Chains A and B, each alone.
Chain A
Amino acid sequence: MHLAWKEIKRNKSKFLIVGAVIFLISFLTFMISGLANGLSQDNAALIKNLPDGTFYMTETAEETYTLSQINENLQKDILEDFEEAAALSIQMGFVNDGEEKQHSVAFVASTASDLFPNIEPGEIVLDESLQEDGLKVGDVLTNSQLDGEFTVKGFVEQAKFSHAPVAFIHPDNYKEMYRTDTMQLMFVQGEREEISGLQAFSTADFLNTIPSYSAEQLSLNMIIAFLFVISGMLIGIFFYMMNVQKFGLYGILKAIGLKTSALFKIMWTQMLAVTTIALVLAIMLSQGFQFIAPEGMPFHLPFDTSWKLSLVFLSIGFIGATLSGLQIRKIQPLQAIQQGEM
């Protein structure tokens, strides 16, 4: 007999309240995660969307990519030695449109590679968010440090760096604008290999060298971690309260011969049912929010992240409920009988 389901069916309001609380906590966690991910994307989508690989900068740059200068010979050697490699530079700056309106961008220049748009000198490819500012293909943009002009060649999706839209330009234009002959970074796809004179960084490590990124993510991740801890405790407390209310009933069921394991099954089934339904609703709502989120709001919650967070929630709920349920083992049938009517 499915005692767990029969109790849920008979006490809908009680389980509805517990489910609503779990839904609200998990929904809050999903939303904060979506915002954290959104900010992370907004800060570093350019880097995060690259395939697995290794970034290199000069050892003398002391983990600050803007100070890195990879000499042309070394760059040439690396590009020859590694098939899937590119040299790139990133600099914050501005472009002016035909109406002299200034747009803040992150200029990114790279050597020819499938990883970045193929650009000729004088061309510029922009992140799609700049379309909302009225920029379109064929527009002519200027920069105070460049003698010539840029013609907008096209737009790309999800190209953000340091909360600014990325503007892909040709290395020749970059070198002219920033009065340099060198590129800052090398990116090599695949396994990490040591290159003399250069310091290697995984994508995650490289992201952490961006000061705004690490500070921002640390704060948000702490919020999420606390939410998880608090959620776990709340779920545990709720199931503990539910168990305490049923100690009398459990005692009687033990007295008539029901196994303790059967009582645990009741508790686990109810925990799983209530938590799963609450999580499914929270996932649906938080995923749906992505479609109605205000334009420009950095909210990014991949389905993959949602179900991983859900698994963590289920595990926390299971541990919380089981710990509180350990009291069940101590229940004495005799006490329940003597306590009077339930």
Chain B
Amino acid sequence: MAVFVIENVEKTFKVGEVVERVLKGASLTLEQGQVTALVGTSGSGKSTLLTIAAGLQQATDGNVIFNGYNLKNMSHEQIRQVRAKEFGFIFQFAHLVPFLNVEEQLKLMLEVAESKMSNKEQQEEVDQMLELVGMTHRKEAYPPSLSGGEKQRIAIARALIHKPKVLFADEPTASLDSKRSQDVMALIRHLTKTLGVTTLMVTHDEEMLAFADRVVKMSDGVILQDE
């Protein structure tokens, strides 16, 4: 089932007198429960496409349709609500809140998503998610005491705790070593399948493509190959 449709998205940046076309009409349809990997050389426009799809910046032209709604026609507040409730984000760096412990990072996300769950239900949800990412033993820990892999696991848990429909992952393993990268990708794939999430991931690491259901190759602002 198509959850997300990207149609002829264009993006241009004006730097002084120079107009740079980063995306030149990219189209993509994302299916539920699939991990889609966007690959391509640096400057191919893959990260720009992901951030436009995630509502973090606007396209110059084209449509981004989520659940039948075009993001182009939504207000900033409506897009924020979609980001908070329907999307999950994993960035290249974990970007955890430095003064919250592991458990609180997840509770914060539930609060941002305006979860209707009771405190008890929230606690159960947090415990369950920490178990899924194998971090129950570190739930009282603060970010400075976590390793890179642990931080990224918590970032994954935070991205999924509110049961988003779409997970956006921008180079989620770039700051990790090979072993940890494999672990994190296996986890993203496992959760995508378990929770029925639609995952769009940008990566430049070919080893990670083994965890994707579909690989979309981009070059010079257009989609070259979709397999």
Write the residues of chain A forming the contact surface with B, with a CB cutoff of 8 angstroms. Answer: 1, 3, 6-7, 9-11, 249, 252-259, 333-334, 336-337, 340-342
Instruction: List B63-86 residues whose CB lies under 8 Å from chain A.
Output: 80-81, 83-85
Chain A: which residue is nearest B98 at the CB level? A342
Contact status of A333 and B56, CB under 8 A, knowing A256-B109, A257-B112: yes
Chain A min CB distance to B87 (Å): 8
Chain B, residues 95-127, CB within 8 Å of chain A (1/0): the string is 101111000100111011100000000000000
Contact status of A1 and B80, CB under 8 A, knowing A7-B99, A249-B98, A342-B98: no
Chain A min CB distance to B155 (Å): 10
Contact status of A1 and B107, CB under 8 A, knowing A259-B80, A337-B56, A337-B91: yes
A258 to B109, CA, bound (A): 9
Chain B min CB distance to A44 (Å): 53
Instruction: Beyond the given A257-B112, A340-B92, please list 7 additional residue pairs across the A-B interface where CB-CB is below 8 A.
Output: A1-B107, A3-B97, A10-B142, A253-B112, A255-B56, A337-B51, A341-B95
Contact B99 A257 (CB under 8 A): no
A249 to B108, CA, bound (A): 14
Chain B min CB distance to A189 (Å): 60
Which residues of chain B have C-beta atoms less than 8 A from A333's C-beta? 56
The 8 closest A-B pairs by CB, nearest first: A257-B84, A10-B99, A341-B93, A257-B83, A252-B95, A7-B99, A257-B112, A334-B56
Majority secondary structure of chain A interface residues (helix, strand, loop or mixed): helix
A11 to B100, CA, bound (A): 11
Residue B4, interface by CB 8 Å: no
Residue B57, interface by CB 8 Å: yes
Chain B: which residue is nearest A257 at the CB level? B84
Which residues of chain B have C-beta atoms less than 8 A from A11's C-beta? 99
Contact A255 B108 (CB under 8 A): no
Q: Which of B83, B93, B99, B107 contacts A255 (CB 8 A)?
A: B83
A336 to B95, CA, bound (A): 9
A6 to B97, CA, bound (A): 11
Which residues of chain A have C-beta atoms less than 8 A from B99's C-beta? 3, 6-7, 9-11
Residue B201, interface by CB 8 Å: no
Which residues of chain B have C-beta atoms less than 8 A from A337's C-beta? 51, 56, 91-92, 95, 170
A163 to B122, CA, bound (A): 69
Which residues of chain A have C-beta atoms less than 8 A from B108's C-beta? 1, 3
Chain B min CB distance to A94 (Å): 68
